[in-house]
Structure 1
Amino acid sequence: MPTDDILLVLRQNWGHQAFRPMQEDIIRSVLAGQDTLALLPTGGGKSICFQVPALARPGLCLVVSPLIALMKDQVENLRKRGIKAEAVYSGMSHQEIDQTLDNCVYGPVKFLYVSPERLLTDMFRARVGRMKVSLLAVDEAHCLSQWGYDFRPPYLQIAALRELLPGVPVIALTATATEQVKLDIVEKLRFGPGHRVFQQSFARPNLSYSALPTEDKLRRLLEVVRGVGADKTSIVYARTRRQTEDTAAYLQQHGLKAAAYHAGLPSDQRTRTQQDWMENRIRCIVATNAFGMGIDKPDVRLVVHLEAPDNLEAYYQEAGRAGRDEKYAFAVLLHGPNDADELRRRTQQTYPPLDTVRRVYQALANFSRTAVGGGELVAFDFDIQQFAETYRIKALDAHNSLRTLAREGFVQLNEAVNTPARVHIPIDHHDLYRFQVANEQHDKLIKSLLRFNGGELFSGFQRISENSLAQHLKLSVLDVRKTLLFLHRSGIIQYQPRQESPQALFTTPRYDADKLPLDQKRLLQARDLARDKTEAVIRYAAGGRCRQQLLLEYFGELDAPACKVCDFCLAEKKARQAPAPAADLRQQLLTLLKATPQTPREVLTHFAPGQATAVTEQLRELVEMGELKYAPDGRLG
């Protein structure tokens, strides 16, 4: 395909005039039908690499993605550009998934985003072979590898999916992968001969990395934020919800426009806070690590971590949210005297004993009232604090056991994601009209639904605003919801209420907890790998070398030059420019002036401005001691 054609796709849909480095080569590889692995840094434009070739050819692009929030953001962004996109993920009803998949078989859908645990369900397998799939995109491809920092066993089902899609090329994308992970991705996805691997350097020349030791993190944070500029956009990452709120309050007390952001806040508040930050009404957002995924704000000047992440992959991704506009930016890790020991302890706790994991699995089954053999992919509201209190499990044991179960592919946990209410009208226009005539009391609401959403309600689920309907009809939101539920039960509409609670689900039919097939060998291997990754973080914080070199070597770039902008490189530069000790300076002056007599003003040009006082003082002493003498022309020699 000529360059002009794919550039036209880019310009028409995104308004960009040119591709970023490597994007065009990746796109051409995909269009040539080659299996392709693309490693691009955070903010490097990964999504363009599969979206452009998908739009440049007939058929549907199937995108596997692990994060509901990220899926929803990408679908929303595509729809805003007039591109038909759908998503299938946990929390959707059976009818909604059924309708969405039918739209992909029979309708003009270009992109279908799907979470990995949905890939081999009977409903999905029955449809995917009838879809005209032209490209399979695997986002966050490091999740395929047991050597990666976020291994997810459901991702291994993608290889079986390829058997249902013979001849369909695959593009796998990630921002972070070691050499071992890259090889694992190629093997697990069964890349064919002639596959291509594209990798940009992980170097970020515009990003200054620092790791600052401190015993008072809040005070040091305030200094860092003010040093970069209180009016500049920043992200501060904290480990706990409480820490985000306490830190934001501290910054506010010192006059900064700061706010906390975490999954425990009401959905409306999270949305408002994020919007205020995007539009610069808030300059500093203090958040847990989920914040930032899928958010396109290129002018972040500073990212600070109050605690070290568990691995350098996570740190690189989170720190990399600074300076996406390629202007100078800062990534700062604050670490205290006990942080290394605390990080090691936390890593150890992440892998609880198997009997604890089984106990938590059984408690989850009781909590959700799920019988053995049932519950597969049926989402339920889940409050982990209430869960731990109800079953008298330590909160940390509950959290880490659930993480283990999620990593092993037995459960899935979804943080609160604001999902608007959705409605679909499954009956035809004539039947709907007859119902309206016979049920006058519901006529106004049905007309309002059609007024706001039009005929698309008949072809699939559409978002609705219960608040807007209530205002339009001069009813309470509660009354609107009651009427929608009545219409749902009557078979007139299919109604999915607004969802904003955290949810959980079993990704397999529920096991008897005693027979849960936990792979002890794999869990021990994962624990040892996590320990190695923890030690890499500790070495990074300790420093002693260029920070960027340490990061690049971790990702397999062994010959990178020093960055010259991290805290270590700047300290080295400063040391080289620092005043020489008196004895050294004395010898430098004697050597210089014996070779070439010069005036004191000429002598000063050979030294840094900060050394002027010391040089002048040494010249005076050398003259007084008779080691240097003035010539008639004012030169010393």
Structure 2
Amino acid sequence: MSPQEILSARFGIAAFKPGQHAVIEQLLAGNSAAAVFPTGGGKSLCYQLPALLLPGLTLVVSPLIALMKDQIDALDRRGIAAARIDSTLAAGETAAVMQRIRSGEIKLLYVAPERFNNERFREAIERMHVSLFAVDEAHCISEWGHNFRPDYLKLVRFANRCRAERLLALTATATPEVLRDICREFKIEPQAAIRTGFFRPNLALQASTVSSPNRDALLIEKLHARPPGASIVYVTLQKTAEQVAERLAAAGFAAKAYHAGLETEERTAVQNWFRDSHQPIVVATIAFGMGIDKADIRYVYHYNLPKSLENYSQEIGRSGRDGLPATCELLVCAADLQVLENFALGDTPSAEAVQSLVKYIFRQPEQFDVSLYDLSSKHDIKQLVVRTLLVYLELGEWIEEGTAFYDTYSFQPHCTSAEILQQFEGERREFLASVLRQAQKAKTWFKLDLTRASEVTGAPRDRIVRALDYLAEQKLLTLKAEGVRNRFTLLRKPDDVVALAAELHAKLVARETRELDRLQQVLSLVSQPSCITAQLCEHFGETLNQPCGTCTFCVTGQPLHLETPAEQAIPDKLWQQALQLRQQYEILRSPRDFTRFLCGLTSPGLTKARASREALFGSLTHIPYRQIYQRALQ
């Protein structure tokens, strides 16, 4: 069957969206390709349809578990067999999926990028025929991108190891620079990089300046002034989501909060409510929106400034997917810039912290394992940054990562130990009894240290884990794995550890600078005397032939005037109190940590020292990070 026949017969779709057929033709011709389509542009069809025509396995890498589930459910309804392997599956479920792949029942497999750190998975995939290796959110591979994920840098290396016949990179937010990065890494020829138009004429990009005290009133005023419709209000902080949702509800709107701090069940309930309602308003952090299949979103409001033009374009792209007019309103408050800058500046560790971590790694034996949590706490570096540094070391071929494992298991029995043991005989019963004796009881849960249990019983860790998994599958207990440890092999040692650490720290500082530049690009978008939509299109490599006619500049003929907040002095009395406190905490001796403390930015070191419990923590949140840091250096 031809791609057009497959599209109609298996997907029930009459015609391809722009760019889809061109990408699919490249793949079916044996070429690697890139699909840069706007949010809602139909990127997923570019690998789902070829998966039905290519002889081997199509492997799809996606960081979004919820999106994997949604796509698999949709494929299942069409009678297309697909599966996923992620951290939510038990060992038995993962094994069953792999067996279905080996039998040829499944030809489309979704996995998270971190799955390639699992040696057993890598070995299994390397023995299979991989026709297509597709990477969603491919901009994450670029350090120039807005959402760099270190594990993405290793994907091309694995695609080569498993002899993938062709690669597909998919993204909605690639600037020309990021697309060049993607094509270089994936070895994609220019003609096979398919970029469709970024411009969507049904989106009206509006912007208004506002002060912090007046922001709620302005948002409510605009909601009242416009016809009701499904709306998303994006905020930066979880507590802001809660507060704004409460104020909107009090003003008579059907509004609910959504953020990563909610329980899974509550988040799912809010998503379902939003999807099924006609005029819902969800006030959300950026955690909301990925995989939301709702075509009639009429409004997207940015209550706080987005972190980048890439974030902004993704978020407004969720509106008006039905092709009808939609309004995207950016509430520009100068005070937001300081908060976002402080976040960016607060993430970068000190040069001393990076040096401490690197020295520690190269003191390890050839085979070693570490906890990212412990490394983060010990060296005062946030876990994601620790992860980034380890990937840099791996890409430099200093270390090689193996399969992570859990150090501790907790279980809650559904019956007594005696009743569990009655299910077994002979050596298996004796083995299981010896394992259960090593468990330490709390209130209703038991905790089992695998390292100690293995030493005492003489049984390999893998056998103990398989036994616990079996008991959980038999509903004899509920099992939780805890304490992830990452395995590594030390390949070689540098001649100059200090120089290597300095090089790595310089990479982190460069990334920090790029994050700050992205914030300025957001402000520039609304303060320049030109069409907002045209500027945004130009950022993503598209030129509009004429102004959009619907953005704030096109309607008013005037750019927004952004007032620069006057620099505020640090109160001398407060500074003297802070200096006295600085003498009590060793962690505060570092200018960077002292600045973090006063800005209210947590760090592993501050948390460990419990310094964030002090009354002065966050006492200078209204002062720019750089101003405090310069004074802390004196």
Residue of structure 2 in register with 1:224 after alignment: 222
For 1:125 and 1:358, the matched residues in 2 are separated by 32
Give the one of 203, 206, 209 matched to 1:210.
Answer: 206
Note the alpha carbon deviations across 1:586-613, whole angstroms, 9 max, x for none. Answer: xxxxxxxxxxxxxxxxxxxxxxxxxxxx
For 1:59 and 1:536, the matched residues in 2 are separated by 44
Deviation at 1:60, TM superposition (A): 1.6
**1:414-425 → structure 2 map (5 Å cutoff):** none
For 1:573 and 1:534, the matched residues in 2 are separated by 21
Residue of structure 2 in register with 1:563 after alignment: 548
For 1:195 and 1:124, the matched residues in 2 are separated by 33
Assess if the C-alpha contact under 8 Å between 2:305 and 2:333 holds in 1: no
> Residue 207 of structure 1 aligns to which amino acid in structure 2?
L
> Residue 522 of structure 1 aligns to which amino acid in structure 2?
K
For 2:82 and 2:521, the matched residues in 1 are separated by 40
Deviation at 1:95, TM superposition (A): 4.7
Residue of structure 1 in register with 2:572 after alignment: none
Residue of structure 2 in register with 1:494 after alignment: 473
With over 3 angstroms needed to count, the CA separation of the structure-2 counterparts of 1:259 and 1:167, relative to structure 1, is: closer
Residue of structure 2 in register with 1:39 after alignment: 36
Give the one of 12, 17, 20 matched to 1:20.
Answer: 17
Residue of structure 2 in register with 1:286 after alignment: 283
3-state secondary structure, aligned to 1:541: helix
Q: Does 1:138 align with 2:117?
A: no
Residue of structure 2 in register with 1:470 after alignment: none
Task: State the TM-score, normalizing by the size of structure 1.
Answer: 0.67
Residue of structure 1 in register with 2:76 after alignment: 79
Residue of structure 2 in register with 1:241 after alignment: 238
**1:453-464 → structure 2 map (5 Å cutoff):** none
Deviation at 1:81, TM superposition (A): 2.9
Residue of structure 2 in register with 1:305 after alignment: 302
Deviation at 1:405, TM superposition (A): 2.8
Residue of structure 1 in register with 2:48 after alignment: 51
With over 3 angstroms needed to count, the CA separation of the structure-2 counterparts of 1:549 and 1:195, relative to structure 1, is: closer
3-state secondary structure, aligned to 1:46: coil
Residue of structure 1 in register with 2:506 after alignment: 521
Aligned residues: 484
For 2:159 and 2:53, the matched residues in 1 are separated by 22
**1:244-393 → structure 2 map (5 Å cutoff):** 244-280=241-277, 283-355=280-352
Give the one of 367, 370, 386 matched to 1:405.
Answer: 386
Deviation at 1:162, TM superposition (A): 2.9
Give the one of 535, 538, 551 matched to 2:523.
Answer: 538
For 2:91 and 2:369, the matched residues in 1 are separated by 13
With over 3 angstroms needed to count, the CA separation of the structure-2 counterparts of 1:271 and 1:360, relative to structure 1, is: farther
Assess if the C-alpha contact under 8 Å between 1:375 and 1:506 holds in 2: yes
For 2:480 and 2:50, the matched residues in 1 are separated by 34
For 2:385 and 2:469, the matched residues in 1 are separated by 42
Assess if the C-alpha contact under 8 Å between 1:258 and 1:282 holds in 2: no
Relative to structure 2, which stretch is displaced further, 96-105 or 37-46? 96-105
For 1:499 and 1:538, the matched residues in 2 are separated by 49
Structure 1: stretches of 5+ with no match in the other structure: 413-434, 440-477, 480-484, 575-637
With over 3 angstroms needed to count, the CA separation of the structure-2 counterparts of 1:213 and 1:356, relative to structure 1, is: farther
Deviation at 1:122, TM superposition (A): 2.0
Note the alpha carbon deviations across 1:121-166, whole angstroms, 9 max, x for none. Answer: 3212211132232211111111111111112222122222232343
Residue of structure 2 in register with 1:154 after alignment: 151
Assess if the C-alpha contact under 8 Å between 1:238 and 1:289 holds in 2: yes
Percent identity for Structure 1 against Structure 2: 33
Note the alpha carbon deviations across 1:64-123, whole angstroms, 9 max, x for none. Answer: 112333223323332333322222233544554444333322341121112223225321
Assess if the C-alpha contact under 8 Å between 2:245 and 2:256 holds in 1: yes
Note the alpha carbon deviations across 1:228-252, whole angstroms, 9 max, x for none. Answer: 323x100011111111110000000
Give the one of 176, 183, 189 matched to 1:179.
Answer: 176
Note the alpha carbon deviations across 1:306-346, whole angstroms, 9 max, x for none. Answer: 11122111110011111111110011111224233443333
With over 3 angstroms needed to count, the CA separation of the structure-2 counterparts of 1:526 and 1:486, relative to structure 1, is: closer
Q: Does 1:189 align with 2:186?
A: yes
> Residue 214 of structure 1 aligns to which amino acid in structure 2?
V
For 2:67 and 2:264, the matched residues in 1 are separated by 16
With over 3 angstroms needed to count, the CA separation of the structure-2 counterparts of 1:162 and 1:526, relative to structure 1, is: same
Assess if the C-alpha contact under 8 Å between 2:32 and 2:187 holds in 1: no
For 1:126 and 1:487, the matched residues in 2 are separated by 20
RMSD over equivalenced CA pairs, Å: 4.0
For 2:483 and 2:20, the matched residues in 1 are separated by 37
Assess if the C-alpha contact under 8 Å between 1:37 and 1:197 holds in 2: yes
With over 3 angstroms needed to count, the CA separation of the structure-2 counterparts of 1:227 and 1:110, relative to structure 1, is: farther
For 1:504 and 1:52, the matched residues in 2 are separated by 40
Assess if the C-alpha contact under 8 Å between 1:375 and 1:505 holds in 2: no
Residue of structure 1 in register with 2:106 after alignment: 109
Assess if the C-alpha contact under 8 Å between 1:35 and 1:196 holds in 2: yes
For 2:508 and 2:558, the matched residues in 1 are separated by 45
With over 3 angstroms needed to count, the CA separation of the structure-2 counterparts of 1:151 and 1:492, relative to structure 1, is: closer
For 1:337 and 1:165, the matched residues in 2 are separated by 50
Relative to structure 2, which stretch is displaced further, 316-325 or 158-167? 158-167
> Residue 219 of structure 2 aligns to which amino acid in structure 1?
L
Note the alpha carbon deviations across 1:252-283, whole angstroms, 9 max, x for none. Answer: 00100000111221222211111111110661
Note the alpha carbon deviations across 1:200-253, whole angstroms, 9 max, x for none. Answer: 1211111011121012111111122223323x1000111111111100000000
With over 3 angstroms needed to count, the CA separation of the structure-2 counterparts of 1:164 and 1:324, relative to structure 1, is: same
For 1:131 and 1:262, the matched residues in 2 are separated by 39
Deviation at 1:521, TM superposition (A): 2.4
Give the one of 537, 545, 550 matched to 1:552.
Answer: 537
Task: State the TM-score, normalizing by the size of structure 2.
Answer: 0.68
With over 3 angstroms needed to count, the CA separation of the structure-2 counterparts of 1:547 and 1:520, relative to structure 1, is: same
With over 3 angstroms needed to count, the CA separation of the structure-2 counterparts of 1:492 and 1:251, relative to structure 1, is: closer
Deviation at 1:505, TM superposition (A): 5.0
For 1:268 and 1:175, the matched residues in 2 are separated by 29
> Residue 113 of structure 2 aligns to which amino acid in structure 1?
P
Assess if the C-alpha contact under 8 Å between 2:354 and 2:505 holds in 1: no
